[in-house]
Amino acid sequence: MSVEEQMREDWNRRAKEDAHYYVAFGRHEQDEEEFLSTASDVLRGLEREMKRGLPGTNPRARRALEIGCGPGRLMKPLSRIFGEIHGVDVSDEMIALAKERLKPIPHAHPHVGSGADLRLFADDSFDFIYSYAVFQHIPSKEVVFSYLADAARVLKPGGLMRFQANNLEAARTAKETWHGCSIEAEEIRAYAASFGLRLLALEAVKTQYMWVTIRKPGPEAVSSGTPRIRRITNSESSEPVAPNRGRYSAVSLWIENLPITAELLSLTLTVGGQPARLTYLSAPEMDGLVQLNAVLPKNLSTGLQPVELKLRDQTLAESVFRIIPAPPAVPRLVEAVDGLDYMSGTRIVSGSVKLFVEELFEPETLVASVDGVPAYDYSILCTDPMPPRHEINFRLPVSLGSGPKVLRLEAGRRLIGLVPIEIAPLVIPEVN
């Protein structure tokens, strides 16, 4: 069976079982309102990127395409800002659900695709192409880059593409259609360069949800004036300092007169003589300044450090920035939810718990217990190395019974948290 056939079979099965759950990862048997509401953060992010500008001046003449549209969760709300919106999905069962959901919207068109390309569409067809939590479930880099090659073909000159890929090390050898494969950041950079595309964002590197924004070059105004760094701040605040390591070790440069052709592939930034990792280049703000975000090099010396911005081999601007010592790490619990039905919160309905913990550098030392009874069957996944952030899953013994409880979390001699939970009556037998 080919990869495409396996994906179609698996996603048809998931669509029949509970399409809303497998698309939104929220809870089983979500109603329509709750299902659509799970897309709110994604929609805000996509609309933010569209503010960079799309081809043409008439919004109703613009066309959008979603790769992996599923049952139309994103197509429905985005249809209000495009004159025509299309979606492709490998699963004919998902497309049947999308057609039903989008029936009242005549300019929304879901299609069953091949599972590997966009052969249904002509060259230079779309102003905006997007994909969310789709490439993470494709167990073949060849298929992912087949989609991306075709996306470069069907995107209009001046058009934007925004998509996600899994950049976790643990997924690089996955073979099945849920965990999929992992795409390296350098592979995305090489893809953009090979197709002559401008890389504008490469965010959340080393996570399961690496975001990429790309523009296909088109007619552009010529910038004038001498580039200058107006200010440098911490990326997480307006403070003019950043620590030399940890979650806040990133900067934003505010630049005037940056050449319109500049992008992450052609720009280099050094701080203290070491290369910083560029993550995001904004469209010009109201005052004409462009924001360039970067993760600082590791182990910078504290104090004032020289900053140099280059376009290819030409120095554009120079400045200085103050590096301060990083504060000590303080492990903290970010969130505790049911392990399977995330929207259930701290009402534990599946017998399992999922934690998100930051700045715990030895997550294997975490011990969870309820009423002195230890949890078991732990699994640990690093979802973001920069804070760092870990996802820790474990099961609660059935012997605890149902009702209000307190979940105690410890790592070594440190108390991480006491979390009030409610254990629902369990129907799942305990696994020894």
- Average pLDDT in the 421-432 region? 67
pLDDT in tens, 226-279: 999 999 999 998 899 999 998 899 999 999 999 989 999 999 999 999 999 999
Answer left, alpha or beta for residue 148, where phi above 0 means left and psi between -120 and 50 means alpha. Answer: alpha
Q: Measure the CA dihedral 411/413/417/421, to 10°.
A: 80
Query: Which three-class secondary structure state does DSSP give residue 101?
Result: helix
DSSP letter assigned to residue 29: T
Half-sphere exposure of 287 (CA within 13 A, CB side): 7
The rounded distance, in Å, linking the Cα atoms of 224 and 222 is 7
The single residue listed with the structure tokens 């893809």 is: 191
Q: What is the mean pLDDT of the chain?
A: 93
pLDDT in tens, 133-143: 999 999 999 99
Give the chain's domains with CATH numbers: 3-215 (3.40.50.150), 228-324 (2.60.40.10), 332-423 (2.60.40)
**Structure token digits, residue 417:** 């948290």
pLDDT in tens, 36-57: 999 999 999 999 999 999 998 8
Residue 430's pLDDT band, with cuts at 50, 70 and 90, is: very low
- Average pLDDT in the 21-35 region? 88
CB atoms within 10 A of CB 364: 11
Does 404 have pLDDT greater than 80? yes
Diameter over CA atoms, the chain: 72
- Comparing 288 with 305, the larger pLDDT belongs to 305
Does 174 have pLDDT greater than 80? no
